A and B are shown apart, each in its own frame.
Chain A
């Protein structure tokens, strides 16, 4: 993988050319531009074009109920605004994404610190924590639905531990179910974050910590003041991927709650899936456009902030 200084948000610095750059014609012969064509044709047809269509069809009455498509201006947006769906879906998605980014990184970082030493036990444990990363997200959702049912295993375990009957409806709260869903998303992906933090910890040279020790730092100080700041690229990568992965999330929540109770966990992609299934294509497109704009608006500042943190070091 890229050596040098590349991270998710910062391309590797170009190695300065050893000689004056060859003329365009020479470059055409050695590095012809047609190598770009297949990739950009596919990107154009399957990525850019649908995105452009989003900006058009969000303002039409496209649906499965009639064959012609007519422009309707901002009707879809006002409809979604007036019944409160737009803001509630936006709020739920942002809260979900923020919680996932926080929890997945806390869990992953904790595991990485705990399992840092290369003993056989730690190596086996790391492998176990990677299993959910490979599992289908849908499967994870069903698994936790079974675990968290009012008569499910978690309540059984708690009953056995406390000695009295516990019957908490874990997935029945309009406030806390969203938090649980985010925790489960974090559970599935924490193995990946752990691996990346572990790799980050390994890149900190031994003699840096050693030097800190010699200067009189305790183990605790050496960790937080010396090694932790050097994890910045790993943190950037993990926070950015967790945030974006969860804003695009669907499977886990769909399998866990299907958007309930009372649509309190209906993140944008579930809304899009549901309205699309009802044949309301224009409304689904409008939400898809909202998701696009939100990610575009949020992602770039987040990445800039994280990058600045790296630059200070």
Chain B
């Protein structure tokens, strides 16, 4: 690529001008300053406030606590926010929701991608409309009451699956279309039925797209409070719902140290996952968005 092309002045191909050199040298400093100001200050505030006593945390500032009592505070919110129960509640809702939305979504996507009938085009459009359209939160409550599912984990799971199926179907259908039909046919020649073809040929090939969907949906469901307020309405503990309770009680009493301790406890699982699987997560999130 460095060979000069007809008549192109040589200096264009050569090193960038001096001004760029300055910009390049300044860049790391800008990066560090941005990280410290934009991210460092808020995150530092969380950590130091969570380590303070109630008196010191009354008006949260950036100073170090005179005596670190992070562990005491964490232990206190562990009790008060019923963290083990809320953690179990969150897992109880998140795991089945994600599993079902991926399974049902990929099954439907396979057919929608492979059978190009007019009916299926309509069904596809309906299925992905949920990416854009907001769910009807209030009437969902009414419906769940009529079904006897109000306030139950089953109802919550159904609502999450209904909301996020659109996203899964949209991403997976696009992906299935790029999988060559010949792979399926080879299995079919060997006498595999549709269930067998789907689970042993198609599903393994969908791994990258399912990884992206899993990450995004886990994030949304794990952190959701809005739909949980309506559907669960205090009859099941989840981590974000209990944060809301701890914070409402805490704001009243100015217990900032407890609010921030709870935030640390709640964010920790996701941060650990990010630290362990950063490369997979980052490539996973972005895989489907561009191209």
Is residue A170 within 8 Å, beta carbon to beta carbon, of the partner chain? no
Q: Can you list 23 pairs linking A and B with CB atoms under 8 Å apart?
A: A1-B212, A6-B174, A30-B197, A31-B194, A35-B110, A35-B194, A36-B111, A45-B147, A53-B143, A126-B282, A127-B278, A128-B39, A129-B35, A134-B274, A138-B247, A143-B45, A157-B41, A199-B289, A250-B225, A272-B138, A288-B138, A291-B134, A303-B132
The answer to whether A46 touches B12 (Cβ under 8 A) is no
Per-residue CB proximity of B37-59 to A under 8 Å, as 1/0?
01101110110010000000001
The A-B contact count (CB < 8 A) is 316
Distance (whole angstroms) from the CB of B70 to the closest CB of chain A: 17
Which one of A8, A43, A187, A238 lies within 8 Å of B130 (CB-CB)? A43
A87→B62 CA distance, assembly (Å): 40
**Given known A45-B162, A195-B282, A195-B285, contact A138–B111 (CB-CB < 8 A):** no
Known contacts being A131-B39, A296-B133, is A151 close to B59, with CB within 8 Å? yes
Contact residues in B for A139 (Cβ distance below 8 Å): 243, 263, 266-267
- Nearest CB on B from A264, distance (A): 20
Task: Give the size category of B's interface with A.
Answer: 35 or more
- A114 contacts B137, CB within 8 Å? no
Q: Is A196 an interface residue (CB 8 A)?
A: yes
B1 and A121: CB pair below 8 A? no
Q: Is the C-beta of A242 less than 8 angstroms from some C-beta in chain B? A: no
For the complex formed, measure the closest distance between the CB of A144 and the CB atoms of chain B, giving whole angstroms.
Answer: 7
Apart from the given pairs A62-B142, A219-B20, 12 other A-B contacts in the complex at a CB distance below 8 Å: A32-B194, A46-B162, A46-B163, A128-B39, A131-B39, A143-B263, A147-B42, A203-B291, A251-B223, A269-B226, A284-B138, A288-B139
Q: Is B188 an interface residue (CB 8 A)?
A: yes
B contact set with A: CB distance below 8 Å: 1, 5, 8-9, 12-13, 16, 20, 27-28, 30-32, 34-35, 38-39, 41-43, 45-46, 49, 59-62, 100, 103-105, 107-108, 110-112, 114-116, 123-124, 126-127, 130-140, 142-143, 147, 158-159, 161-163, 165-166, 169-171, 173-175, 177-178, 181, 184, 188, 194, 197-198, 208-209, 212, 219, 222-223, 225-226, 229-230, 239-240, 243-244, 247, 256, 259-260, 263, 266-267, 270-271, 274, 278, 281-282, 285-291
Cβ–Cβ contact B138 & A142, under 8 A: no
Is A47 in contact with chain B by the CB < 8 A criterion?
Answer: yes
| Segment 276-313 of A: residues with Cβ below 8 Å from B | 276, 281, 284-285, 288-289, 291-292, 295-296, 299-300, 303
- Chain A: interface residue total (CB-CB under 8 A): 112
Contact in complex: A36, B158 (CB < 8 Å): no
Partner of A219, one of B16, B39, B61, B162: B16
A163 interfacial by beta-carbon distance below 8 Å: no
Instruction: Classify the interface of chain A: helix, strand, loop or mixed.
Output: helix
B62 and A156 form a contact (CB under 8 A)? yes
Q: A147-B42, A237-B289 are in contact. Are A12 and B178 (CB under 8 A)?
A: yes
